[in-house]
Structure 1
Amino acid sequence: MTGQGDAADPRGVIREAYAIEGIGPEDCRSIFLDWALTVPAEADTEALIRTLLARHGTPDHPMTAVLREGLGTVRPRRRGGAVGRRGGSV
């Protein structure tokens, strides 16, 4: 389930999820996790999700719900090194 994509969906997995007839929320969550794990650490995940929603966001599709949930959980990544050990803010 991979294909040519772009910066927001490099492997095309989100696009393909929208094309799968009868896909359920569990499968969409799994695909979203796969997508999220391949996003570069320096990427603006919130902006990428918003791009995907604008492009594919069919209101009643389970992937749309998963992407919206993803927006609600986007948090800054933990910083390593001394700042991380001292509890500094991101």
Structure 2
Amino acid sequence: MTTAADEPAVSQFDPKGLIRESYRIAGIDASQCRSIFLDWALSMPMEVDMQAALSALLDHYGSAQDTHPMTAVLREGLVSDQRPKRRGGWRSRPRS
């Protein structure tokens, strides 16, 4: 079980409160959770350890709400820990 003492550690990984608020939305579905997760992931600084962040968020929120769609999305994120990368653009085009 998590305590109020865990809140500062979790808030460093969720500074906008996106994950916290997703757990408070009644009737949220998996596609909405994935959209929120993508916004969260893209807003995280590059130096953040995503595995540690996802684990902390799962421990804090997911342990008490095992069937919540965001818990499933966070677990999927742990399995496929890949940061979105920009592809394309002028740099990837062949030069003539």
With the shorter chain as reference, the TM-score category is 0.7 to 0.9
SS at match of 1:64: helix
What are the ranges of 5 or more consecutive residues in structure 2 without an aligned counterpart?
A: 1-9, 86-96
Match of 1:9 among 11, 14, 20: 14
Distance 1:45 1:51 in 2: 10
Identity in percent: 51
Task: Tell me how far 1:75 sits from its aligned partner.
Answer: 3.9
Distance 1:44 1:31 in 2: 19
Distance 2:72 2:84 in 1: 23
What are the ranges of 5 or more consecutive residues in structure 1 without an aligned counterpart?
A: 79-90
SS at match of 1:51: helix
* Alignment-derived partner of residue 70 in structure 2: 63
Structure of greater Rg: 2
TM-score by length of 2: 0.72
Q: Which one scores higher on RCO, CA 8 angstroms, separation ≥ 6?
A: 2
Q: CA RMSD in A?
A: 1.8
SS at match of 1:6: helix
- The residue correspondences of 1:1-90 to structure 2 (distance < 5 A) are 6-57=11-62, 58-75=65-82
- Displaced runs of 4+ in structure 1, greater than 3 A? 75-78
TM-score by length of 1: 0.77
